[in-house]
């Protein structure tokens, strides 16, 4: 039965890959990226779990039910979000020198994260907060290059923000998230230019295939970056072994193993948090321990049996995946949560064709979409929270946003953003 469910999961995601690959800009729409992560990152873990004698395959049934219904609901929600009507007016970026200077300031602020990540004893929450400014500046710089007359300040911000993210992705941690963020943002930028449209489709597909091979060796890569430890097996061997009974890289399946255990625990004990883990994530990200104290910060969080077991499952290294975190909140109705998130992505995607503000927001969210599925649902909301708590008010304060009126009788093609 597990094999049948795995095949359904595979075929479903292959269908999404093919469907969105064929449509205009489909490789940048959230369902294509979701399917790419599902096949490139999660499938090798699933097969490792299934083939390994270490894990209990009985736990796969409910996990695969959640994964299949979650992915299908996400795509349906995305399509529903895309069907929203365009409003009479829409918020967009006010392309002026103020935005250019503010963007450069964000890039410089992001550079400070390099100093924090050099020290293992530093507060990495602050480091991540500063790095987010570099990411925001990187996205804004790309938009300014396309839709505003670029100048020295725009290019300087682009270089500084790119260097900050590149440093963390390849020299500090070996971060799959930031590596994908860079690659996806650059390809999405190139897609604005009609001469690259067809090529970018294949480059995006190739990026996921390339990333899938290297993702299977992430532990080996991080050990090399941190300690200079020599590579053992080749990247290709590690990837192919995840589909073989002779595979030896048992750690590859640990995230999926965590998800299977977490879902089984909630189901067997009928213990759910009904979304309160999102509150825990908010407290972790935005309540400063150094100001209120560790005891007060911990007292603000919600704890139950599931949350108390998280450290024993993840050991602070692996993740629970978005499927387990959604199930821990909504049980078998977790697919409704995936529908809601997909709807939000579809809504932003639809509006991004008419507004540089929504284009920026789509950049911000879609480059972190993979983490929603492979890490946890809090990363999706944490990303939104950081945008609207810190970045959005700053844009308002400095007059970097304005309302753009839409002409009702014009065709969609004529009111869409102009690109080169």
pLDDT score for 233: 56
In whole angstroms, what is the distance from residue 185 CA to residue 177 CA?
A: 12
pLDDT score for 15: 98
Say which residue, 139 or 415, is predicted with more confidence: 139
pLDDT of 228 > 80? The answer is: no
**Chain segment 12-32, per-residue pLDDT in tens:** 999 999 999 999 899 999 999
Mean per-residue pLDDT, 288-305:
87
Say which residue, 306 or 409, is predicted with more confidence: 306
pLDDT score for 180: 87
Provide the pLDDT confidence category of residue 214 given band limits of 50, 70 and 90.
Answer: low
Best CA proximity match to 100, nearest among 143, 135, 164: 143
Q: Which residues contact 44 (CB under 8 A, 6 or more apart)?
A: 212, 215, 216, 239, 242, 243, 252
DSSP label at 316?
T
In whole angstroms, what is the distance from residue 191 CA to residue 186 CA?
A: 9
Please provide the average confidence, as pLDDT, over all residues in the chain. Answer: 86
Task: Tokens for 270, please give them.
Answer: 């009928």
pLDDT score for 410: 44
pLDDT score for 243: 57
Provide the pLDDT confidence category of residue 307 given band limits of 50, 70 and 90.
Answer: confident
Mean per-residue pLDDT, 315-335:
91
pLDDT score for 104: 98
Task: Tokens for 278, please give them.
Answer: 């999102």
Q: Which pTM value belongs to this model? A: 0.88
pLDDT of 112 > 70? The answer is: yes
pLDDT score for 291: 84
CA angle 23, 31, 240 (to 5 degrees): 105
Question: What is the DSSP code string of 320-378?
Answer: -HHHHHHHHHHGGGHHHHHHHHHHHHHHHHHHHTT-HHHHHHHHHHHTTHHHHHHT-TH
**Chain segment 176-208, per-residue pLDDT in tens:** 778 889 999 999 999 988 888 889 999 998 888
Provide the pLDDT confidence category of residue 248 given band limits of 50, 70 and 90.
Answer: very low
Query: What are the angstrom distances between the C-alpha of 312 and each of 29, 104, 308?
Result: 36, 43, 8
Lowest mean pLDDT among 39-48, 79-88, 312-321, 396-405: 312-321
Q: Which range, 43-57, 133-147, 364-378, is most confident?
A: 133-147
First and final CA of the chain: distance in angstroms? 51
pLDDT score for 242: 57
Mean per-residue pLDDT, 69-90:
95
pLDDT score for 418: 46
Mean per-residue pLDDT, 285-299:
87
Instruction: Tell me how far apart the 2 most distant CA atoms of the chain are, in Å.
Output: 64
Provide the pLDDT confidence category of residue 227 given band limits of 50, 70 and 90.
Answer: low
Residue 192 exposure: Cα atoms within 13 Å on the Cβ side: 21
């Amino acid at each position: 039965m597990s094999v049948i469910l795995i095949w359904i999961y595979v075929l479903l995601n292959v269908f999404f890959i093919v469907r969105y690959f064929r449509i205009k800009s489909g490789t940048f729409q959230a369902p294509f990226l979701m399917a790419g992560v599902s096949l490139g990152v999660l499938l090798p873990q699933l097969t490792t779990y299934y083939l390994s004698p270490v894990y209990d395959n009985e736990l796969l049934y409910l996990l695969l039910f959640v994964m299949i219904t979650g992915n299908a609901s996400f795509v349906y929600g995305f399509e529903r979000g895309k069907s929203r009507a365009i409003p009479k007016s829409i918020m967009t970026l006010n392309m002026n020198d103020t935005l250019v200077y503010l963007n450069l300031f964000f890039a410089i602020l992001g550079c400070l994260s390099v100093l924090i990540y050099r020290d293992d004893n530093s507060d990495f929450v602050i480091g991540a907060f500063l790095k987010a400014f570099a990411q925001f500046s990187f996205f804004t710089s790309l938009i300014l290059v396309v839709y505003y007359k670029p100048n020295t300040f725009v290019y300087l911000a682009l270089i500084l923000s790119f260097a900050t993210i590149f440093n963390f992705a390849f020299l500090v941690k070996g971060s799959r998230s930031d590596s994908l963020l860079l690659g996806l943002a650059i390809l999405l930028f190139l897609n604005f230019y009609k001469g690259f449209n067809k090529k970018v489709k294949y480059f995006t597909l190739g990026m996921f295939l390339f990333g899938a091979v290297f993702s299977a060796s992430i532990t080996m890569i991080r050990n090399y970056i941190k300690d200079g430890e020599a590579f053992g097996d080749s990247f290709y061997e590690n990837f192919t072994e995840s589909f073989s009974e002779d595979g030896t890289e048992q750690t590859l399946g640990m995230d999926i193993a965590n998800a299977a255990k977490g879902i089984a625990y909630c189901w067997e004990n009928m213990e759910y948090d009904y979304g309160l883990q999102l509150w825990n994530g908010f407290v972790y990200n935005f309540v400063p321990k150094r100001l209120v104290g560790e005891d007060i910060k911990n007292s603000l969080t919600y704890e139950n049996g599931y949350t108390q077991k998280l450290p024993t499952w993840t050991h602070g290294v692996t993740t629970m995946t978005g499927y387990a975190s959604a199930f821990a909140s909504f049980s078998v109705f977790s697919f409704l949560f995936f529908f809601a998130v997909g709807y939000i992505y579809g809504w932003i995607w639809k509006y991004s064709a008419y507004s540089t503000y929504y284009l920026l927001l789509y950049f911000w969210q879609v480059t972190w979409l993979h983490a929603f599925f492979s890490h946890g649902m809090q990363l999706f909301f944490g990303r939104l929270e950081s945008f609207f708590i810190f970045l959005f008010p700053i844009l308002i304060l400095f007059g970097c946003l304005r309302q753009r009126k839409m002409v009702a009788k014009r065709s969609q093609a004529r009111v869409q953003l102009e690109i080169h």
